[in-house]
């Protein structure tokens, strides 16, 4: 059975609360909690970068899995990494001691975890020499948020963390079923870091932060399609999987109103999801965090159908359906 056998997360110790963010931004604390959907988020130390956060999460997987058994490492985390033109996956492979694994990266900002799971599943199906694939991601996107820029308001929950998932052709836990992905490239220039690329090799200080050049224009175009595309990819992944009933949704962190609308659109109640209001938004890591926390906090039953779903600026919506087969060791999460 091809699927996810094990997940892990790394949560930085430093906490930034809604009250802290209120002091930085001038936005009332209750608005940050109720509308942004954020009680607190975690911030990594200056010495830890995206690759280090990914390594920290990957090490937890390898506590019970031999590094020599990993055939492929895929980095699916934030594109904001230690260096600009650089492969974090190579460093991670080396530091984790994966001497038998080759490494590469998938980069599709926040939508990437459901895509990475699909790619790993397809690789396991098509290449009989591959037994185990380690997916790892890191996010330190709190560093690219300017709290003085009102255009980047919806990014104030950006946070830091690490996540990892072991995919194998001999899974006993999470069977990986079908995926659905939708891209609308008309949004390709709506969210970006202006400086540092070939368009602007020598940015000023403000151009080093993530920006939304036309927030009202993006909202006007995005609002009519975002919810329907979330609903589309979730329902299509279920239909392609032959699954009739969805028990649990593990989405990326969004503002609370969008989170509730997504649940309503697929017929779920709030307790049938994991909402990361205590962690914030960590680029592509969110659904992997959700999967880890679901095993820790939810009363999962064999046969439960779960969907990991996300969306990334650019704009891509992605969902992958999983079937739970049991096997959770609650001791892992204490």
Asked if residue 328 and residue 206 are part of one domain, the reply reads: yes
Asked if residue 56 and residue 40 are part of one domain, the reply reads: yes
pLDDT in tens, 186-201: 999 999 999 999 999 8
Give the position of tokens 């699909």.
118
Q: Which of 171, 198, 216 corresponds to the end of one domain?
A: 171
Least confident piece of the model among 138-152, 191-205, 227-241, 307-321: 191-205
Q: E strand or H helix at 319, and its extent?
A: strand 316-324
pLDDT in tens, 223-279: 999 999 999 999 999 999 999 899 999 999 999 999 999 999 999 999 999 999 999
Residue 242 phi/psi, 5-degree rounding, is: 70, 25
Measured distance CA(74)–CA(10) in Å, rounded: 17
Give the position of tokens 């055939």.
71
* pTM recorded for the entire structure: 0.95
Q: Which of 171, 191, 214 corresponds to the end of one domain?
A: 171
Asked if residue 285 and residue 216 are part of one domain, the reply reads: yes
pLDDT in tens, 35-46: 999 999 999 999
Asked if residue 194 and residue 300 are part of one domain, the reply reads: yes
Asked if residue 238 and residue 116 are part of one domain, the reply reads: no
Average pLDDT taken over every residue of the chain: 96
Asked if residue 103 and residue 235 are part of one domain, the reply reads: no
Q: Which of 171, 202, 230 corresponds to the end of one domain?
A: 171
Q: Check whether the bond before 203 is cis (ω within 30° of 0).
A: no
Measured distance CA(201)–CA(170) in Å, rounded: 47
Asked if residue 186 and residue 167 are part of one domain, the reply reads: no
Asked if residue 143 and residue 10 are part of one domain, the reply reads: yes
Which residue range forms the structural domain that includes residue 140? 3-171
Angle ∠(212,74,291) on CA atoms, nearest 5: 75
Measured distance CA(256)–CA(27) in Å, rounded: 16
Asked if residue 287 and residue 149 are part of one domain, the reply reads: no
Asked if residue 205 and residue 74 are part of one domain, the reply reads: no
Asked if residue 202 and residue 156 are part of one domain, the reply reads: no
Asked if residue 245 and residue 151 are part of one domain, the reply reads: no
- The answer to whether the CB of 108 falls within 8 A of the CB of 114 is no
- The structural domain count of the chain equals 2
* CATH of residue 304: 3.40.47.10
């Amino acid at each position: 059975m091809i699927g996810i056998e094990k997940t892990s997360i790394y949560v930085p110790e430093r906490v930034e609360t809604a009250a802290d963010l209120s002091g930085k931004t001038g936005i009332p604390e209750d608005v940050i909690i109720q509308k942004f959907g954020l009680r607190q988020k975690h911030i990594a130390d200056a010495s830890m970068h995206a690759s280090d956060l990914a390594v920290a999460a990957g090490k937890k997987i390898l506590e019970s899995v031999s590094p020599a058994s990993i055939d492929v490492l895929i980095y699916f985390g934030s594109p904001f990494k230690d260096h600009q033109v650089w492969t974090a996956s190579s460093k991670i492979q080396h530091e984790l001691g994966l001497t038998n694994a080759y490494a590469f990266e998938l980069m599709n900002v926040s939508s990437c975890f459901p895509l990475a799971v699909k790619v790993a599943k397809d690789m396991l199906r098509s290449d009989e020499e591959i037994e185990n694939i380690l997916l790892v991601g890191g996010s330190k996107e709190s560093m690219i948020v300017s709290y003085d820029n009102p255009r980047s308001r919806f990014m104030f929950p950006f946070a830091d963390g690490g996540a990892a998932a072991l995919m194998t052709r001999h899974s006993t836990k999470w069977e990986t079923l079908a995926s659905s992905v939708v891209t609308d490239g008309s949004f390709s220039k709506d969210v970006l870091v202006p400086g540092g690329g070939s368009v602007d090799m020598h940015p000023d200080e403000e151009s080093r932060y993530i920006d939304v050049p036309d927030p009202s224009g993006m909202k006007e175009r995005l609002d009519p399609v975002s919810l329907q595309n979330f609903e589309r990819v979730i329902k299509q992944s279920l239909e392609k999987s032959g699954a009739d009933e969805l028990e649990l949704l593990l989405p990326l962190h969004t503002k609370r109103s969008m989170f509730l609308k997504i649940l309503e659109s697929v017929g779920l109640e709030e307790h049938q999801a994991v909402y990361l209001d205590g962690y914030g938004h960590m680029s592509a890591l969110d659904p992997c965090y959700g999967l880890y926390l679901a095993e820790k906090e939810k009363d999962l039953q064999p046969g439960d159908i779960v969907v990991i779903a996300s969306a990334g600026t650019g704009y891509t919506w992605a969902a992958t359906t999983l079937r739970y087969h049991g096997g959770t060791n609650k001791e892992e999460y204490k």
